[in-house]
Amino acid sequence: MSIYEELQARGLIAQVTDEAEIRELINNGGARFYIGFDPTADSLHVGHFMALCLMKRLQMAGNRPVVLIGGGTGYIGDPSGRSDMRSMLTPEIIQHNCDCFKKQMERFIEFGEDKALMVNNADWLLDLNYIELLREVGAHFSVNNMLRAECYKQRMEKGLSFLEFNYMIMQAYDFWYLHNNYGCNMEFGGDDQWSNMLAGTELIRRKEGEDAYAMTITLLLNSEGKKMGKTARGAVWLDPGKTSPYEFYQYWRNVDDADVMKCIRMLTFIPLEEIEEMEKWDDSRINEKKEILAYSLTALVHGEEEAAKAKATATAIFSGAGDDANMPSTEIDEADIPEDGIQLADLMVICKLAESKGKAKKLIEQGGVSLDGTKVSDIFAVVSKDMLRASVKIQKGKKVFHKAKIR
RNA sequence: GGGAGAAUUCCCGAGUGGCCAAAGGGAACAGACUGUAAAUCUGUCGUCAGUGACUUCGGUGGUUCGAAUCCACCUUCUCCCA
C-alpha cells in the first residue's frame, strides 16, 4: 500500500488542494514538504506529535521534510480558530521555546543532508521591510477574501487585531520563501491551518505562476468533538519533565472506549493489517486495546524502556501487586517536616495532589484519600517523620497514586 | 475623530447600595455503580489556623456607616457614524 492510501486509511487526511497531484507526488517521494510549528510553549504537545508522525511517515516514503520553526511568526500569533488573542511573547521566551522544540524534534526525526531540514522563519521574517512587503506580497491579497476565510470567523465577532490578521500573510510568505529557496512544493498542517495554507499556494501561483500543494491532517477529536490531548491541568506534553511518561501512558490508557481505535489508527505506527485484526476483537478486550495504544505511544515518545516502566507501574498500581518503583513521587527535605510530623493535607499540597490545603481536607472529608492503602477519615491526620523516611503511598480517588518520602 | 455599550470567581453567564464568596449552566474533582471506559445519581468547587476570619467582581482614586453595584479618570473590547 502506498503512502497516500495509508494516510487515507488511517483517517489522517482532512483536506487536499489537488488529490491526484498530491497522491502522485508523495507516493513517488517527490514531495519537499514543510510543516510549521509556532513556539507558543516550551514543549511540544500531542497536536504537534501528530504532525511529527506525519512527517516521519512521509519521510519513510522517500519524501523530504522541512521543519519550520516559527521564530518569526511567533511574534504575531495565529488567530485561527481561537476566540481570544494570544498573549504576546517576548523575544527571549520565543527563543527559549524554539530551542526546546528543536531538542525534542531531534529525538524524533532524522535531520541532516538529504534528510530532514530545520529552518526558522525568524531568519527571513524579522528583516522584512514593511513598504516592500506590502508591494511585493500585500498586493496579491484580497482583503475581501481574507475576511471570508473560515479561520477568522470566530474572531470577526470577538475582535481581531491587525497584528493577528497579518498572520495569514506571514504564513503564506513562508511558503513562498521556502518554495523559492528550498524547493518546497507542499505544505502540511492541522486542519485549522487550511485557510493560511491556501493563502500560500495562491501567493506562489500569483507570483511564480507555479503550482504548490497543501494538505491538512484531521484534528484529533474525541467522541464529544473536543480536541484530544488536553487534561484539566492543560496539554499533554511530550517533555517528560512536564508530563511524566507514566502520566502520558495513563492519559492514553484512559481514553474513552469510543476513541480507542481512532487513536490507534491515527497515532500509532501499528500496521494497518494488525489494526484491522484488532477491529474484530471482542468487546471484552477493550482494555487490551487501550494498553496497546498507551504502550506504543509512550514508546514512540519516550522510548521502549520508559514505556515498559510506565506499563509495569500501572499494572502494579491497579492490580495491586508487582513493582511500583516508578510511581510518581515527591521527595521532601527532612528540614521541611516538623518534628512531630506533617498533616496529610499539607503533604498533599506539596505533592501537588491538591491545589490548597482546604481542597485536600475536602477530599479527605469526602473519602477520596487513602494512605498506604487505608482510607483516611480524619482531616487532621498526621504523617510522621518515620513513615516518611520509609515512604508513604497516597491515593487520591481511584486513579491517582503518589509516593512521598524524605530525601 | 464623534456617539452608544461591555469588562464578574477555570469558561459561559446572572447580579445594579447592605440578605453577595456572589444565582444558573458547563468544565473539573470526589463518592456510589463499573472495566483504570461511558452514562446516571450524590457531594464539593476563593484562601486560611473550618460554625469564624481574610482576599476577590478590568485598573486607580472617590462618595457612603456600608460598593461587584454610585462618581471620576485610565485600560481593553464591541456596535453605530466618519
Averaged pLDDT of chain A: 89
Nucleotide nearest to A289 (CA to C1'): B37
Does residue A232 carry a pLDDT above 70?
no
pLDDT confidence tier of residue A282, bands split at 50, 70 and 90 = confident
Does residue A167 carry a pLDDT above 60?
yes
Nucleotide nearest to A160 (CA to C1'): B77
pLDDT of the residue at A67: 95
User: CA A359 – C1' B44 distance (Å)?
Assistant: 9
- Count of other CB atoms within 10 angstroms of residue A226: 10
CATH, range A230-319:
1.10.240.10
**Strand B reaches within 7 A of the A253 CB:** yes
| b/e per residue A265-295 (b: at least 16 CB within 10 A) | bbbbebeeeebeebeeeeeeeeeebbbbbbb
User: CA A105 – C1' B6 distance (Å)?
Assistant: 44
**Strand B reaches within 7 A of the A395 CB:** no
Handedness of CA A264, A268, A270, A271 (dihedral sign): positive
- ipTM summary value: 0.85
**Strand B reaches within 7 A of the A287 CB:** yes
Give yes or no on whether A3-217 and A329-406 have one common fold: no
The pLDDT tens digits of the residues spanning A61-93 come to: 999 999 999 988 888 878 776 666 666 677 888
**Strand B reaches within 7 A of the A103 CB:** no
Listed as ranges, the nucleotides of chain B within 7 A of a protein C-beta are 27-32, 34-38, 43-50, 77-79
A329-406: which CATH topology? 3.10.290
Cα separation, A202 vs A204, in Å, equals 5
| b/e per residue A7-36 (b: at least 16 CB within 10 A) | beebebbbebbeeeebbebbbeeebbbbbb
- Count of other CB atoms within 10 angstroms of residue A238: 23
pLDDT of the residue at A81: 65
**Strand B reaches within 7 A of the A362 CB:** yes
Does residue A321 carry a pLDDT above 60?
no
Q: Residue A405 is placed in which grid cell?
A: 518520602
The pLDDT tens digits of the residues spanning A97-136 come to: 899 998 899 888 888 877 889 999 999 999 999 999 999 9
- Count of other CB atoms within 10 angstroms of residue A98: 21
The DSSP line for A343-398 is EHHHHHHHTTSSSSHHHHHHHHHTT-EEETTEE---TT-EE-HHHHHH-EEEEETT
Q: Which residue lies nearest B30, CA-to-C1' measured?
A: A368
**Strand B reaches within 7 A of the A158 CB:** yes
**Strand B reaches within 7 A of the A309 CB:** no
**Domain A3-217 CATH superfamily:** HUPs (3.40.50.620)
Structural domain spans, chain A? 3-217, 230-319, 329-406
